[in-house]
Amino acid sequence: MKQLILYSMVLICLPLSVFGQRINLDDCQTKARANYPLVKQYSLIEQTAQYNISNANKGYLPQLTLSAKGTYQSQVTKLPITIPNMTIPELSKDQYQAVVEANQVIWDGGNISAQKKITNANTEVEKKKLEVDLYTLNDRVNQLYFGILLLNEQLRQNDILQNELQTNYNRIASYKQNGIANQSDLDALKVEQINAQQRKTELESTRKSYFIMLSALTGTSIDEKSELSKPEMNLTSLTETTNHRPELGLFAAQNKLFESQKELLNAGNRPKVSAFIQGGYGRPGMNMLTNAFSEFYIGGIRLSWNLSGFYTQKNNVNKLETSKKSNDIQKETFLFNADLKTKQQQTEIEKLQSTLSSDDEIIRLRENIKKSASVKVDNGTLTVTDLIREINAEDQAKQLKSLHEIQLIMSVYQLKNNINN
């Protein structure tokens, strides 16, 4: 009794990998997304947006400008009069000036606000593009996952076939000892056994490569010992066909970006008001009658309005409207193609459902034919070659059913992936 308890505890404590971990499709899709290098782009997009927003906000800070110049001119300003007993100094022809100006925005026409909106809209577009790229991973994971499930079914059928071939080989070997069968009958069965073993080796090799690719894609350790659970077949996808693909979010984000760009165009054509103050040192200073280096300052309110932007305003707005229309056409084309694909997938699902409903009947009939052929071999009225043909026909029918089952589930998930349902 103690040994039994101890044995049970050892089994419980053994790591899961000994028996093979259980994996499902949703986990594989989630892990593939987290493991994909492109997902790191999210943080970079966010950082870039923060830098751009920060730069735009600095437009509200005083803008400092330092300028300096030295000039030499052929003539200088002179008073055209003479005053008795007074010498009026003459300005030097070489003049120098250094000025620091601080400019504070009071109203920029909404330019900085529009720049921040464009930054946010651009960030959203980049994120949506990344979502579209990452969404394609689902299809790659599905192909590998369902490929492994199909190979598992084929290997299971292969084992059943080999067991049956071995049973018949043993039976014909006993017939041979009794003089009822000959060596050629055994050789025919042996050839089929070798073919089945070769087929098993090919299937196992293909499945191993699929496991390696799925493991690399998800960033987890998945091997032949891992058990892949068969996804549930939810047929509600056949009725709920509203498209929720990330591409639709990208089209919406691009339209929002066009609106933000239009707002920036309008802001660029509005007047701007700012306060400024200048401080400088030069010769001459503010007093033009003094030919000496002096300090000076000046401050005030400045209004600026660049009217030349109105020349191209209409064309620029029309360009944005054209881009928006082109984006809408791309969205319409995407939905049209997705709808066609949805109808095609729904038709494929209905076909597979119909096919599966008759697979069981075909297998039942094939089993009856094989049993009848086996009895005829026992009675010496049918050759072993004919029996092998019926065995292979039954195996083919079972493999087709397994194939149709996996294809049906895969078609349902392809439909789900096509509309992101």
pLDDT digits (tens, 9 = 90+) for 401-410: 888 988 898 8
pLDDT of residue 237: 57
pLDDT of residue 281: 94
Calculate the average pLDDT of the chain.
Answer: 87
Residue 409 lies in a domain: yes
Domain holding 140: CATH number?
Answer: 1.20.1600.10
pLDDT above 90 as % of the chain: 45
Residue 82 lies in a domain: no
Mean pLDDT of 321-338: 95
Task: Please tell me the number of Cα atoms within 13 Å of 253 on its side-chain side.
Answer: 19
Residue 83 lies in a domain: no
Residue 66 lies in a domain: no
Which residue bears the tokens 């059913």? Answer: 401
- Per-position DSSP letters for 93-151, written without gaps between them: SEEEEEEEEEEEEEE-TTHHHHHHHHHHHHHHHHHHHHHHHHHHHHHHHHHHHHHHHHH
For the four alpha carbons of 36, 40, 42 and 48, in that order, the dihedral sign comes to negative
pLDDT digits (tens, 9 = 90+) for 169-181: 888 888 888 777 7
pLDDT digits (tens, 9 = 90+) for 359-388: 989 999 999 998 998 888 888 788 888 888
Residue 96 lies in a domain: no
Residue 40 lies in a domain: yes
How far is 40 from 46, CA to CA, in rounded Å? 11
Confidence check: pLDDT of 5 > 60: no
pLDDT of residue 20: 54
pLDDT digits (tens, 9 = 90+) for 247-270: 999 999 999 999 999 999 999 899
Confidence check: pLDDT of 45 > 60: yes
pLDDT digits (tens, 9 = 90+) for 53-112: 999 998 889 999 999 999 998 888 777 777 777 777 778 889 999 999 999 999 998 999
Q: How confident is the model at residue 420 (pLDDT cuts 50, 70, 90)?
A: confident
pLDDT of residue 236: 65
Residue 64 lies in a domain: no
Residue 398 lies in a domain: yes
Confidence check: pLDDT of 390 > 90: no
pLDDT digits (tens, 9 = 90+) for 172-217: 888 888 777 788 888 988 999 999 999 999 999 999 999 999 999 9
How many domains does the chain divide into?
1
Q: Domain span at residue 244?
A: 28-59+108-270+305-419
